[in-house]
Structure 1
Amino acid sequence: MAGSSIDIKTIEGLWNGDHKAFETVFLTYYNKTKAFIYGYVKSESDAEELAEDLFVNLWINRQAINTAKSFDAYLYTIARNAAINYLNHKYIHLAYTNNFQPDEAGSTSEEDLIAKELGLLIDDLVNKMPEQRKQIYILSRNEGLSNGEIAERLHTSKRNVESQLSLALKEIRKAIFAFILALL
């Protein structure tokens, strides 16, 4: 995320809650951050969402910024962590919803039970979603349709499909995270 960076006064302003300083930071780094995250997640809408979340959290946790250290390095680290966390959640979700096949022997190892439980949790969550979100999620994840194909089939906009899918995945990520925390 090299390139133009901001001065210490702007970072100190951000730390002190100056909205103008935050706007400067956002305008300076948003596109670079989004592009950097995209390099990991390979999805424009997910990179956009993660970058937006990153800046919201940056504002909320602005006083955690060490003004004596490199702001670029700090932002790079939190962007990388956000992308890696997202991928971890995505792969856990894929492993437990798409690839879970119990063996013929009917194995009941702890891992299988956890996988079944997580699969049921996600199914339950999907079933409780608003009807359109549920349909979009199922068409995307279970039938493998693209956002454009889903929009066509459901007579809605591609943007709505992306938005609903994003909300569904955010809900599922939260549930998986809570589930994993409960296991620890």
Structure 2
Amino acid sequence: MNNSIDIKTLEAFQNGNHKAFETVFIAYYNKTKAFIDGYIKSESDAEELTEDLFVNLWINHSSIDASKSFNAYLHTIARNAAINYLKHKYVHDTYLNNNQEIEYSSTSEEDFIAKELGLLIDELVEKMPEQRRMIYTLSHNEGLSNAEIAERLDTTKRNVESQLSLALKEIRKVISCFLMSLL
């Protein structure tokens, strides 16, 4: 990531100039994505992380110090984003592996409760507004990323995130009520 932009562009970006942000984005996007991909070895995830990185850069544009090396700043936040991604992935993969190794023998009562809860969640999902139901299904049943869902449904990634959040909030509420009724 050894591009460089002039101090005037960086100061304009710091002051919220959208054209300056576009200049920074064009100058650094591909190299930042390639840098992150070198760490995480997934082009689609690297693209998503890079997009998030630039969104956060825009949101926090006023905190950029134009007197310091922008290359070093961008390199640091890109490296941290990649490392955080890998940590999250490691924890997730470890959790999945550990859960697959555990032998669990359930009782018929636990099986019944699990089936009831599953039916309750299925019923709740069916009653969700159509777009929320589709987004939840694509995410949880087909395992699509938020970006893939947004593209498939011709909507924004932010809308997908919002709808998923609302769906999960509804599901958590129903699970909580269900579990409280068992006590």
TM range, normalised to the smaller chain?
0.5 to 0.7
Shift of 1:5: 1.1
CA distance in 2, matches of 1:46, 1:39: 11
Aligned twin of 1:27: 26
Is it true that 1:43 corresponds to 2:39 in the alignment? no
Q: Of 125, 129, 137, which aligns to 1:131?
A: 137
Shift of 1:102: 3.8
CA distance in 2, matches of 1:92, 1:59: 29
Answer with 19-28 or 59-68: which moved more.
59-68
Aligned twin of 1:69: 68
CA distance in 2, matches of 1:8, 1:132: 45
1:1-20 alignment runs, 5 A limit: 1-2=1-2, 4-20=3-19
Runs of 4 or more, structure 1, over 6 Å off, are none
CA distance in 2, matches of 1:90, 1:32: 23
CA distance in 2, matches of 1:64, 1:85: 21
TM-score normalised according to structure 2 size: 0.60
CA distance in 2, matches of 1:46, 1:132: 18
Matched position secondary structure for 2:66: coil
Largest Rg, 1 or 2: 2
1:137-148 alignment runs, 5 A limit: 137=143
CA distance in 2, matches of 1:39, 1:62: 26
Deviation per residue, 1:58-98 (Å, 9 max, x gap): 01111221111100000000000000001111111111123
Shift of 1:103: 7.7
Deviation per residue, 1:4-58 (Å, 9 max, x gap): 3100001100100000100000000000000000001111110000000000000
Matched position secondary structure for 2:94: helix
Aligned twin of 2:88: 89
TM-score normalised according to structure 1 size: 0.60
Aligned length: 128
Matched position secondary structure for 1:99: helix
Alpha carbon RMSD of aligned pairs, Å? Answer: 3.3
CA distance in 1, matches of 2:84, 2:97: 19
CA distance in 2, matches of 1:40, 1:97: 22
CA distance in 1, matches of 2:32, 2:137: 34
Shift of 1:136: 1.6
